[in-house]
Amino acid sequence: MKRSVRFPVSPTLLRRLALASIIANVAIVVTGGAVRLTASGLGCPTWPRCTDESYTTTAEMGVHGVIEFGNRLLTFAVGIIALAVVLAVLAQRARRRGLLPLAVGVLFGIPAQAVLGGITVLTNLNPWVVGLHFLASMAVIAAAYALWRRTGEPDGPTTPTVPAPLRTLALLTTVVSVAVLVVGTWVTGSGPHAGDHGAARNGLAPETISQVHADGVFLLVGLSVALLFAFRAVGASRAARAAGVLLAVELAQGLIGFVQYFTNLPAVLVAAHMLGACLVLLATLGVLWSTRERQPARPPATPATPAAEPVGAAA
């Protein structure tokens, strides 16, 4: 029986493809925001077709149809990159433990996102569904980040790089970061950028929910400062650098958030804020990863060779 021919992919290429997957998934979040910010959310008024008769946009749909349909096409590009990552994982000479489930998870997360996007259209841009669509994108980005980090690690067991209380603090910071993202979708759902001039809002008071969001941001920044000083105190330089990056991203994101709030939410700043949300998530995950490291895998044990019987021993 002939063996199938395999085309091995270098670890460097696999890692680059995994990084490309992160960038592509962040990009489609930003372009999806552009659809909403240009009021093109119903540029294609149905799904999976763009109109009842056509899968593509038509001249009658105008620029809004082009923007919405263009964002749908980008989904295929993101999916192709994710598929390339899966194939690259399968082509590895030695199958790396844990890579395939993450790669497959990212790949299947993309059509799941497309379905959620279709539901947002079919529900006339219901703000709660739009928020869920964004959070699902964050989950795919998190999986893509985990895959990228895993491609640069050996296959041995993980060991902590900081004491247990600081690992708990890093995990708490991650939970708060996710909570800030969730509440951020509520703020968006209460604001003016609905994706279409006739789309409903979630009914929450914008000033109140914005204050709740800001309180969460203050808590997140405080936790990040605590992590930075605590990591430095125990000599965890890699973790301290990751916490410093997180704090810098949070401060930049907070500045954009405050400026956009007091300038009546200009579309450009809202788009920058969406990009910042992705970067905050990635920086948070960077801190979480910095609290542990993976050791090289031990070579498999070889069976012991029986000791030779002394010459002349009795039978």
* Residues 91-141 pLDDT 10s: 887 777 789 999 999 999 999 988 998 898 888 888 899 999 999 999 999
**The pLDDT of residue 59:** 74
Is the previous residue joined to 306 through a cis bond, with omega within 30 degrees of 0? no
**Six-digit token string for 90:** 């399968």
User: Residue 164 contacts by C-beta under 8 Å, 6 or more apart in sequence?
Assistant: none
**Six-digit token string for 52:** 């009842």
**Six-digit token string for 109:** 């997360």
Q: Which residues pair with 294 in a beta bridge?
A: 158
**Six-digit token string for 238:** 């890699």
pLDDT in tens, 39-75: 777 778 788 878 777 777 777 677 878 888 888 888 9
**Six-digit token string for 254:** 């907070």
Q: What is the DSSP letter of 6?
A: -
pTM: 0.87
Exposed, middle or buried: residue 269 (CB in 10 Å: 0-12, 13-18, 19+)? middle
Is pLDDT above 90 for 296? no
Residue count (the chain) = 315
